[in-house]
Structure 1
């Protein structure tokens, strides 16, 4: 089972002159996308007992995601108000004292042997105590399972940039797989070319860096020649959840090929990585073709033209 540990929230999506609440959150979206693709997945994050928290549960259980590690909380659910500009999503977060943000390292449950890989990322890495909790979880799990991280960097959410950069430095050193957008690479290595920035991060220890580029498709930087997968041409509704779905496609493809193990991650081939890139881009194309974070089911990926 692939365990996704990180934020869930309610996206307040513009709808005319008002907003429509939609379950979301980077790591939450990835867990649901994995479940819909048929990959065994679990989710770890506190879920509020408020009305918004109750909205978060059905999409998880409906996708077959194991939520047995999710504690319930009387704190409020994080809200993210979305602004769409040309289909691109920008966010304003209401998160202070929320159910997820107050997760502490000592609150972490024992991770069962059925968990074989860990995915982390998003705004849950930024503030404490939840950022410290995720870092502690990675340190505990990485000796026996591969770890994938997508920091999904939101500069406006970062109150202490030095502390966050230091945490990312530690987490990137513990990760096997890293997903970064062009904006993420620019933030991590200002002024460096994409290849220079990727090479520097690979030098910290990860096996593969998956770089997404929207309509430009995706690339994989690793010890071999850089690999690329073209984007699937679709009419874009919005980009909410696109990167999260891409992550799920990558993980699902690697799991399907038996590569998502501590031994397998050290023996990745160009073909295995290219398959992961391809499934990630195909899955993301379906998500951007419809409003909100609505990742595809396995049958929809089969029906998508090559």
Structure 2
């Protein structure tokens, strides 16, 4: 089972009316929520390790997760209001104005949720929660402890409005990289964190730090990935872009699905992964991300959508 730990958010996407006035449509999101939901739809055992509200938005989030086949057995429910975000799509990257009235993102300590399921084979986290306090400190502590027995995946997924102490945040990410088995960042993430370093140099640094699989996604430039023995660069899929919301989460979903099929989620198996299998895993990750980019909001495919190879196929609820 793949366990994801991090925020669930109801995103409000701008959709101008006939007169050009902004209207906002709610869609489900949140980086770690998205990955759990996406894995469930692809038939991969997944559990969501977080707290969801008992309010109507939280009930919607829980029901969609369950309908997608992900486990809620390790999801707690509370009376704090759901986290909301208004999305600005005017730039190259989505900008999220997050409203976390219940402070779930900034205060939740995963240690209070109970132990991970015994069947956990990967623990995945990242995103805005790592920049917020005191929750960021609690999650970092939990990750380091978890990494002693379960492989950890880290997706930087930087959210600049959440960062109050850039140097402290960068130091935390660097420490977490030291505990991680899989590390992924986008070029946009690295432009915030290391504006004077090229993505290839960052990937090489992770390799030197002993990260078994490091990945940098480059938007329209494709993706680069490295293990101890292989370094690959793949061009981007050609897609008719609707919006990029959830694309990075979809990439991780596809990557995990392929690695799960190959039983290649731990350090030893990743070290033995051949170049062809690594290339296939990254290509599949791009395929899942491409599907999401063709739809408004983070609409994740079911396995049948991808097998049909129909770029216009929509997931239920789109």
TM-score, scaled relative to structure 1: 0.94
Is residue 77–residue 100 contact of structure 1 (8 Å, CA) maintained in 2?
no
What corresponds to 2:189 in structure 1?
184
Q: Deviations over 1:151-206 (max 9, x none)?
A: 10122220122221221111111011111111222333231222212212222231
The number of residues matched between the two structures is: 306
What corresponds to 2:305 in structure 1?
300
Aligned counterpart for 1:220 among listed residues 222, 225, 233: 225
Is residue 50–residue 110 contact of structure 2 (8 Å, CA) maintained in 1?
no
Aligned residue runs from structure 1 range 1-306, under 5 A = 1-16=1-16, 17-85=22-90, 88-104=93-109, 106-304=111-309
For residues 307 and 142 of structure 2, the distance between their equivalents in structure 1, rounded to whole angstroms, comes to 35
Q: Deviations over 1:11-53 (max 9, x none)?
A: 0111222211111001111111111111111101111112221
Is residue 87–residue 237 contact of structure 1 (8 Å, CA) maintained in 2?
no
Distance 1:302 1:28, change over 3 A: same
The offset of 1:297, in angstroms, is: 0.9
For structure 1, which segment, 187-196 or 28-37, has the greater mean C-alpha deviation from structure 2 after superposition? 187-196
Is residue 37–residue 296 contact of structure 1 (8 Å, CA) maintained in 2?
yes
For residues 130 and 274 of structure 2, the distance between their equivalents in structure 1, rounded to whole angstroms, comes to 30
CA RMSD of aligned residues (A): 1.9
Is residue 227–residue 271 contact of structure 2 (8 Å, CA) maintained in 1?
no
For residues 57 and 265 of structure 1, the distance between their equivalents in structure 2, rounded to whole angstroms, comes to 33
For structure 1, which segment, 271-280 or 125-134, has the greater mean C-alpha deviation from structure 2 after superposition? 125-134
Distance 1:305 1:18, change over 3 A: closer
TM-score, scaled relative to structure 2: 0.90
Which aligned segments of 4 or more residues in structure 1 are displaced greater than 4 angstroms? none
The offset of 1:131, in angstroms, is: 1.6
For residues 149 and 84 of structure 1, the distance between their equivalents in structure 2, rounded to whole angstroms, comes to 25
For residues 300 and 291 of structure 1, the distance between their equivalents in structure 2, rounded to whole angstroms, comes to 16
The gaps in structure 2 that reach 5 residues or longer are 17-21, 312-318
The gaps in structure 1 that reach 5 residues or longer are none
For structure 1, which segment, 106-115 or 44-53, has the greater mean C-alpha deviation from structure 2 after superposition? 106-115
Distance 1:166 1:181, change over 3 A: same
